[in-house]
């Protein structure tokens, strides 16, 4: 069985045009996003292992912020998660699986996180 490496970013908050109700459309909504990207791992990581043996963690953050198209309204946060997965798969062919969890912060009443998780394998 091969080893795997899971890169992560969590607690990322960003505003995205999303929602299906009239009070949601046209207004960016705050989302909290966590991303995990699984890829194969080399046999060992030594102190001088170069970055290309892994992946730049900032690529995960980019996929959920600057990588989202400006002015596009996503009816469902599931579509936001899908776009993040697609971006990471396109960035690096070594990414085998992406997990995206999104919470819609604007609908929380007592600090709870209401949202979804999408787990997508490379096809």
**CATH code of the domain occupying 4-41+53-121:** 3.30.1130.10
For residue 54, give both structure tokens.
């892994």
Listed residue (34, 10, 54, 12) closest to 99, CA to CA: 34
If you average pLDDT over residues 112-117, what whole number do you get?
A: 94
Domain boundaries, the chain: 4-41+53-121
Average pLDDT, the chain: 93
- % pLDDT > 90, the chain: 77
Rounded CA gap, 56 and 39, in Å?
12
Tell me the pLDDT tens digit for each residue of 41-67: 988 999 999 988 899 999 999 999 999
If you average pLDDT over residues 28-39, what whole number do you get?
A: 96
Length of the chain in terms of residues written? 123
Give the distance from CA 100 to its chain's centroid: 5
C-alpha pair distances (Å), 40 with each of 2, 23, 105, 113: 7, 43, 33, 31
If you average pLDDT over residues 13-36, what whole number do you get?
A: 90
């Amino acid at each position: 069985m091969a080893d795997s490496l899971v890169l992560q970013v969590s607690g990322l908050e960003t505003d995205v045009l999303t929602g299906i109700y009239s009070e949601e459309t046209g207004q960016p909504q705050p989302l909290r996003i966590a991303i995990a990207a699984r890829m194969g791992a080399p046999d060992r990581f030594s102190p001088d292992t170069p970055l290309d043996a892994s992946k730049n963690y900032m690529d995960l953050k980019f996929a959920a912020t600057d990588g989202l198209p400006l002015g596009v309204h996503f009816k469902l946060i599931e579509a936001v998660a899908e776009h993040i997965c697609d971006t990471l798969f396109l960035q690096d062919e070594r990414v085998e699986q992406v997990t995206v969890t999104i919470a819609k912060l604007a609908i929380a009443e007592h600090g709870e996180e209401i949202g979804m998780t999408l787990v997508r394998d490379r096809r």
